[in-house]
Amino acid sequence: MARKAAGKPPEEILLDWKREQASLKARVVDQDTEAWQLDPAFSGLQRVGGVDVSFVKDDSGSACASLVVLSYPELEVLYEDCRMVTLTAPYVSGFLAFREVSFLVDAVQRLQEREPRLMPQVLFVDGNGVLHHRGFGVACHLGVLTDLPCIGVAKKLLQVDGLENNALHKEKIQLLKAGGDSFPLMGGSGTVLGRALRSHDHSTKPLYVSVGHKISLEAAVRLTHSCCKFRIPEPVRQKTFPFPFPPTCATLWAGKPTHPVASRKGDGALQALCSHCR
């Protein structure tokens, strides 16, 4: 896990990344490891976390790395950490973790140092787990490095191992009638890489849920659904910060004529959000 200089990495760096992925992949656990995961109501689960790296518009080298911890099942915010970071490793398809995951590990470590009693029992990752070119996405990478159960939740289908967002796939989506309905994502290799989940009754676009680490796909899908008040599970949706925005953003935009703002539909109202932390 390294923060490389900007620019396309030379072939030897890609080879190093592939070797590291393969080594870490051998440590992935795709089964339930915690007692709460086996309980139909997730009894014993008290804290769920969400992480994400949100990019600054028109600046591919700047981003906000965020970690949010919520109570479960209430889904109330217990802890927030949003920090502006500089991304020095280039984006290479299939190697997103080498660009982002170190900042997420840092956020988890800061929480461990500051408020260990608030450490999440599971992390939702805005990205993929085993649904990945080499079966080791950012949710797997983060899970192995932190030794925490992780769930990959993606908004778009990663088309790998024969998976395609084609007419048949769209037909299956139409058959998801209610929140909690899902269907398996069977790759050409015969491996189930994840599930397409209708996360909410009022959401027509599915989420793509995959195992990251130390949890089964069945438990990951059930927990994702149970954490959704809207389409996106709350631990990921709550990464955003309504005004007043965090000190890091206030400092970054001090003295500038405008602050970049995005609007997002939340609980029926438009909420103004800092685009650096959304």
Tell me the H-state helices in the chain. Answer: 11-25, 35-38, 97-114, 138-146, 167-174, 217-226, 234-237, 247-252
* Rounded Cα–Cα distance for residues 216 and 209 (Å): 11
Of residues 256 and 41, more confidence is placed in: 41
Question: What's residue 8's pLDDT?
Answer: 53
Residue % of the chain over a pLDDT of 90:
75
* 90-140: pLDDT as tens digits: 888 899 999 999 999 999 999 999 999 999 999 999 999 999 999 999 999
Q: Which domains does the chain have, with CATH numbers?
A: 11-238 (3.30.2170.10), 240-278 (no CATH)
Question: What's residue 11's pLDDT?
Answer: 84
When pLDDT is cut at 50, 70 and 90, the band that residue 270 belongs to is very low
pTM given for the model: 0.84
Among 179, 218, 225, which Cα is nearest to 200's?
Answer: 179
List all residues 6 or more positions away from 93 whose beta carbon is below 8 Å from its beta carbon. 133
* Rounded Cα–Cα distance for residues 187 and 58 (Å): 35
Largest CA distance in the chain: 56
* Rounded Cα–Cα distance for residues 194 and 217 (Å): 7
What integer best gives the mean pLDDT of the chain? 86
Q: Is the bond preceding residue 73 a cis peptide, omega within 30 degrees?
A: yes
Torsion of CA 241, 247, 252, 257, to 10 degrees: 80
